[in-house]
Structure 1
Amino acid sequence: MNRAIAYACPMAAILNWWDGVELWLTGLPFVVQTAVVMPVVLALAYGSALVLDGALGWGITGLHRLRHAPADEVESE
């Protein structure tokens, strides 16, 4: 039971902080909301694009190595 309380407290603190951010953001005018939200959204989109690009490049490189391996290497494995 104590362990559940220990995990609940940090999550409750994060959720309370997030509620405060939401309330602050919704109280701003629309143009200011856009100016605050867009850098965050663009940074997240850029970061996820970098991660996906790297993963896709790694996967394609691995497939090329598998498909274009010499026949003697494939038979020896």
Structure 2
Amino acid sequence: MNRKQTDSNISSLASQILTSQNSSAIQKQLAGSALAQSNTNKQTGKSMETAASNVLKSSKYSDTTKSLAASILSQSNKNR
């Protein structure tokens, strides 16, 4: 089990993304996942791991989106 939790800076960023009309769907998915893991022992689900991994592999996403993806992957189940 991974005991990492979302950092307060990422939580703040995620909150801003969720309330912004200019955020993309993938940003909102990643932000929701990051916030769900804030102050809990929840881990990233398999589908979100895949989405976050795809974001990090692609050059079309912004640094903000990649930061969220990296945070989510750091909280994934290491046994998968």
Q: TM-score, normalised by structure 2?
A: 0.23
> Greater CA radius of gyration, 1 or 2?
1
Q: TM-score, normalised by structure 1?
A: 0.23
Relative contact order, CA 8 A, sep 6+: which one is greater?
2
